[in-house]
């Protein structure tokens, strides 16, 4: 297995892993609840656009809410992200019954 750093940005990183004859690119991103979600999505878009035709997985904590990925209601960020997902033909692997990735006493 060989890993290559493709990009390192302020809020995202892209790494290509060579597994036998099949490369896999991982794009990881984080957007705090108070940051501009459009900047994060732009970094993801640019990283995705720079990659040749191969398997890509995007792993992101975007601090948003949308009923499609198990939240009780949508928020503005969730709607923006859903538009991004649809426009870029991205499949979401989270299911509505997936447990939350961050839990605190006041959150649900």
Element (H, E) at 17: strand 12-19
Q: Where are the domains of the chain?
A: 2-88
Find all residues with CB under 8 Å of 23, minimum gap 6, and list them: 16, 17, 54, 55
pTM of the predicted protein model = 0.78
CATH 3.30.465.10 correct for 2-88: no
User: What's the whole-number mean pLDDT along residues 75-94?
Assistant: 93
Measured CA to CA, the distance from residue 1 to residue 22 in angstroms comes to 10
Residue percentage of the chain with pLDDT more than 90: 39
Across 2-6, 35-39, 92-96, least confident range: 2-6
Exposed, middle or buried: residue 47 (CB in 10 Å: 0-12, 13-18, 19+)? buried
């Amino acid at each position: 297995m060989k890993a290559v750093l493709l990009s390192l940005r302020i809020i995202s990183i892209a790494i290509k892993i060579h597994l036998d004859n099949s490369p896999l690119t991982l794009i990881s991103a984080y957007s705090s609840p108070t940051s501009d979600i459009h900047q994060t999505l732009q970094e993801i878009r640019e990283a995705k656009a720079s990659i040749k035709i191969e398997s890509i997985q995007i792993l992101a904590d975007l601090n948003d809410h949308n009923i499609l990925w198990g939240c009780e209601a949508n928020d503005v960020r969730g709607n923006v992200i859903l538009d991004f997902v649809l426009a870029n033909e991205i499949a979401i692997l989270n299911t509505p019954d997936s447990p939350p990735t961050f839990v605190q006493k006041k959150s649900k």
